[in-house]
Amino acid sequence: MRKLAPIILAFVLFLSGTKAHADQIVLIHGYLGEAYSWQASGVVPILESRGWPLADLLLPNPPWILPVQRPDTAKAPAAKHTVHLAQLPSLAPLALQAVILEAELQQLGRAHPGQEMILVGHSAGGVVARLALIRHQLPPVKALITIAAPHLGTPRAESALDAISDPWPLEVIKEFFVGGPYPLLRESSGLLFDLTRPFPGSLLFALNNTPHPDIRYISLIRSQPFAFGDTLVPGFSQDMNQVPALHGKSQVTLIPGDHPLHPGDGWALERILRELTKPQ
């Protein structure tokens, strides 16, 4: 029996170590998106097909965590690492979204104590995740992956603000007759201001010059023929290495396509997540 004791102890330590190193992958949508954008785009189905099951939806209010409903005949696949979808008010200013994301991640951390998180943010969701990170109120985070995120803002936000800056009564006339995206842009004017190119005193300027946690940073940058970036966000703005506080700290991966999420993001994420979660 004494000879078996070291073997039993080693086995117990192995099992406890396996549990402690499980990672929770949190997908954070962007402007005009929602949690299920990750499913509709094909990203979640690809991750699930490769062994990264979707576990639940993170809500900004109680019950906070809503388990995914599966058909009675379908069992949730057993997996060490699971995927969670964060739901945010995508028209709200960045700071408000960051506070809500922080609350959701704290609830997730309580549900999975001792486990690390990998945050994945698309578009403005990547900036929201960075803003939450620098507040240092989150459970342990291993890495941040951003997809087509406007870390240095976008001229498109400035153009949108110009379009809704008409004086009264022209503003009222436009709102009544034009419709379309005009009311939507007005409702999200605070967010659009946050996403303008950084200048002293702006939120992005402060964020980009604030020390960030010492974790892994990975920038997924859109690429077009003969150019980096997409129709909404320039390529250099999608690169976290261009952020003064993160200069030289981000891994870069180029993903062909335009700004919206697409299946190529799922395949790229699967490769990156496999590398981030492999046993050390």
Asked if 59 and 109 sit in the same domain, the reply is yes
Asked if 37 and 98 sit in the same domain, the reply is yes
Which of 194, 225, 256 is a domain's end point? 194
Distance CA(10)–CA(31), nearest Å, equals: 48
Distance CA(149)–CA(253), nearest Å, equals: 13
E strand segments, the chain: 23-28, 54-58, 65-67, 82-86, 116-122, 141-147, 216-224, 227-228, 250-256
Asked if 189 and 206 sit in the same domain, the reply is no
Strand 216-224 vs strand 250-256: parallel, antiparallel, or unpaired? parallel
Asked if 115 and 185 sit in the same domain, the reply is no
Angle at which helices 94-111 and 124-133 cross, to 10°? 70
- Return the residue matching tokens 């007005």: 186
17 within some domain: no
In CATH, what number is assigned to the domain containing residue 262?
A: 3.40.50.1820
Half-sphere exposure of residue 164, counting CA atoms within 13 Å on the CB side? 20
Asked if 207 and 176 sit in the same domain, the reply is no
How many residues in total does the chain contain? 280
Q: What is residue 166's predicted lDDT score, i.e. its pLDDT?
A: 60
5 within some domain: no
Q: What is residue 170's predicted lDDT score, i.e. its pLDDT?
A: 42
Asked if 56 and 103 sit in the same domain, the reply is yes
- Return the residue matching tokens 């291993």: 142
Which of 194, 220, 249 is a domain's end point? 194
15 within some domain: no
Asked if 44 and 182 sit in the same domain, the reply is no
Asked if 40 and 168 sit in the same domain, the reply is no
Asked if 222 and 103 sit in the same domain, the reply is yes
Single pTM value for the model: 0.88
Q: What is residue 19's predicted lDDT score, i.e. its pLDDT?
A: 44
Asked if 133 and 272 sit in the same domain, the reply is yes
Asked if 59 and 139 sit in the same domain, the reply is yes
Instruction: List the domain range (segments joined by +) for residue 44.
Output: 22-69+76-154+200-277
Structural domain count of the chain? 2
Asked if 116 and 244 sit in the same domain, the reply is yes
8 within some domain: no
Would you give per-residue pLDDT tens digits along the chain (280 residues)?
455 444 444 444 444 444 446 899 999 999 999 999 999 999 999 999 999 999 999 999 999 999 998 765 456 556 689 999 999 999 999 999 999 999 999 999 999 999 999 999 999 999 999 999 999 999 999 999 999 999 999 999 999 898 887 654 444 444 443 445 667 888 999 999 999 999 999 999 999 999 999 999 999 999 988 889 999 999 999 999 999 999 999 999 999 999 999 999 999 999 999 999 988 7
